[in-house]
Amino acid sequence: MLGILSFLGFTLLVGVIAYLATRKTDERSSDGYFLGGRSLTAGVIAGSLLLTNLSTEQIVGLNGQAYSEGILVMAWETLAAIAMVVTAVFLLPRYLKSGLTTVPQFLKDRYDTTTKTITSVLFLTGYVVVLLPIILYSGSLAISTMFDVPTLLGVSDSTALKICIWGIGIIGSIYAVFGGLKAVAVSDSINAIGLLIGGILIPIFGLYAIGDGSVFAGIDILYDENPEKFNSIGDSSASVPFATIFTGMMLVQLFYWGTNQQIIQRALGAKNLKEGQKGLLLGSFIKILGPLIVVLPGIVAYHMFQGSLEVPDQAYPALVNKVLPDYLIGFFAAVLFGAILSSFNSVLNSSVTLFGIDIYKEHINKEAPELTVVKYGKIFGIVLALAAMFIAPLIANAGSLFAYLQEVNGIYSIPILTIIVVGYLTKKVPAIAAKIGIVSGSLLYILSQFILKPFVFGEDNYPHFLHVMAILFVLNILIMLLIGKLYPREEPYVQKYTEQVDIQPFKYVKEVGIGICVVVIGIYIYFA
């Protein structure tokens, strides 16, 4: 009962603070609703970025991989810091100079409307078909298990799961659809603090138990008895071979942190470039500590359970149940609930933004006033949320989805990254090159991973999917540059400054960025 009360108390506190912080925001305009009135500050941006990124499938999935493979899976976390630095230094100044609300808007200015629409549809398809239902399913599974909802309500496991799915879906929809980006970002930043505290407490309690009352003794025992789990390099059979760090891994990270609407929308809502850059840099510094939450607990669980767990993804929930005191279960469940909500409502809010700005305003009602765009964006969001709630219970084996999701996302991530990179680095590559690049990139990746790999060459005789991404990235760039050489634009592209926000950069952005990159490289050298 104490756990449930602390859960309800913390969750209610977040809701009240989010309401008080957003009640004066004018959400009748596109900027007000979709970008929080372009008023977000560094701390809010950093917290929202981290909470949007962290969700149950990542916390459970990465710790499950760490349980099996050790610290080498930290690449998904630590390399994100470098990608965030690149975004802060190179991409965000260009985004804010153009006053963008969505990333595809740049593609309209640089190429044409059709390219923008194709990209928006690709984003929406990835969000709706893959992300929303999986976030709902995996999050509901965690909450149902943590509170033993079937016993609590006297219902079957499947009924308890559906109750949790609809509960999370409805609450997340209220935040995202009716509150706009600022409500999402404010609630995220509060939950980020809770997640950092709760997430770090799990390995601390675990190490305390291993060391018989001493965390430092626990660290020594863990390292001395499991040295193979602290090798950052790994071998070619690892889920993240070391060589992929120099190929597709960095491309995936750059897409996710620099061009993915669900993530970059937080930085696009910055009150000025300085705050946006500081938010990204603060987020990247905290991201370096990410392995303490999503990798170290998996290694602690491996030591405590001696590799006896049948399913690696049981590692994190099993560790939480074993080491966390009863009085903290409710708080941690509330924090986890916040992480689930954050990912769900962030994807939903981004989908609403893409539909309202890039589909409705562009193709359905070009003369629509901003109030109407926001209205129909909200309606679209409600339909998406309902669809996700109906689809989510149909998903079976959510525990093994993390690695699979990374592979499937390549269908749209690398083609979109390619046309954005070429768009910014060249001035004469035409729109037809972008259309060919995005279509060929998607089709070639599907051919490679879902036809050639399983049916022609076999899993064991085929390059890692991250290497395939890098190869196709280079190939698509060459195709676009060739088309640009043969059929260049009549007029070279020139980016215009819309003066919507101040684009004076943070004075020490490069120095801080270099420092963060040095720390990441140092971590790899230390554990090599």
Q: Does an H or E element contain 80, and which?
A: helix 75-86
Beta-carbon contacts of 227 under 8 Å, excluding residues fewer than 6 positions away, are none
Helices (H) and strands (E) in the chain, counts: 26, 0
pLDDT digits (tens, 9 = 90+) for 443-474: 999 999 989 988 888 877 888 889 999 999 99
The top-level CATH class assigned to 2-16+40-400+507-527 is: mainly alpha
Query: Token digits for 174?
Result: 């209220």
pLDDT at 234 over 90: no
Helix ranges (DSSP H) in 313-400: 315-323, 326-353, 370-391
Single out the residue of 72, 92, 198 nearest to residue 146, CA to CA.
Answer: 198
Single out the residue of 3, 82, 56, 47 nearest to residue 293, CA to CA.
Answer: 56
Q: What angle do CA 76, 77, 78 make, to 5 degrees?
A: 110
pLDDT at 398: 43
CB–CB of 123/384 below 8 Å?
no
440, exposed or middle or buried, with CB in 10 Å at 0-12, 13-18, 19+? middle
Which of 1-5, 61-65, 454-458 has the least mean pLDDT? 1-5
Query: Token digits for 455?
Result: 């049916």
Using alpha carbons only, how large is the chain's radius of gyration in Å?
23
Q: What angle do CA 468, 436, 492 make, to 5 degrees?
A: 115
Better-predicted residue by pLDDT, 53 or 444: 444
Total length of the chain: 528
**DSSP letter assigned to residue 40:** B
Unique residue bearing structure tokens 């491996």: 302
Q: How far apart are CA 24 and CA 242, in angstroms?
A: 49
Q: How far apart are CA 60 and CA 54, in angstroms?
A: 10
Q: Does an H or E element contain 397, and which?
A: none
pLDDT at 232 over 80: yes
pLDDT digits (tens, 9 = 90+) for 129-156: 777 887 888 778 777 777 778 888 889 8
Unique residue bearing structure tokens 């080491």: 323
Single out the residue of 338, 347, 349 nearest to residue 13, CA to CA.
Answer: 338
Q: What angle do CA 73, 78, 80 make, to 5 degrees?
A: 110
In this prediction, what percent of the chain has a pLDDT beyond 70?
86
pLDDT at 199: 83
| Verdict on whether the full-model pTM lies above 0.85 | no
Confidence tier at 387 by pLDDT (50, 70, 90): confident
**DSSP letter assigned to residue 240:** S
Q: Does an H or E element contain 140, and which?
A: helix 132-146
Beta-carbon contacts of 91 under 8 Å, excluding residues fewer than 6 positions away, are 258, 259, 264, 424
User: What contacts 24+ positions apart, CB below 8 Å, involve 251-254?
Assistant: 251/413, 251/414, 251/417, 251/469, 251/470, 251/473, 252/406, 252/409, 252/410, 252/413, 252/414, 252/466, 252/469, 253/79, 253/80, 253/82, 253/83, 254/83, 254/86, 254/87, 254/417
**DSSP letter assigned to residue 500:** S
Query: Token digits for 89?
Result: 């230094």
Q: How far apart are CA 370 and CA 27, in angstroms?
A: 10
Domain ranges of the chain: 2-16+40-400+507-527, 409-489
CB–CB of 336/142 below 8 Å?
yes
Q: How far apart are CA 116 and CA 20, in angstroms?
A: 36
SS3 call for 272: strand
Mean per-residue pLDDT for 51-74?
82
pLDDT digits (tens, 9 = 90+) for 294-323: 899 999 999 998 877 777 777 887 788 788
CB–CB of 39/180 below 8 Å?
no
Confidence tier at 189 by pLDDT (50, 70, 90): low
pLDDT at 257 over 80: yes
Q: Which range has highest mean pLDDT (12-21, 25-34, 226-235)? A: 226-235
pLDDT digits (tens, 9 = 90+) for 97-133: 888 877 888 888 899 989 988 888 887 887 777 778 8
Query: Token digits for 293?
Result: 């939450």
Q: Does an H or E element contain 61, and which?
A: helix 56-69
User: What contacts 24+ positions apart, CB below 8 Å, involve 239-243?
Assistant: 239/65, 239/69, 239/73, 239/403, 240/72, 240/73, 240/75, 240/76, 240/466, 241/464, 242/72, 243/467
Phi then psi dihedrals of residue 441, to 5 deg: -60, -45
Signed CA dihedral, 505, 506, 510, 513: sign only: negative
CB–CB of 153/160 below 8 Å?
yes
Beta-carbon contacts of 331 under 8 Å, excluding residues fewer than 6 positions away, are 6, 7, 10, 194, 198
Cβ count near 90 (within 10 Å): 13
Cα-based distances in Å from 65 to 270, 299, 330, 415, 487: 35, 9, 26, 28, 47
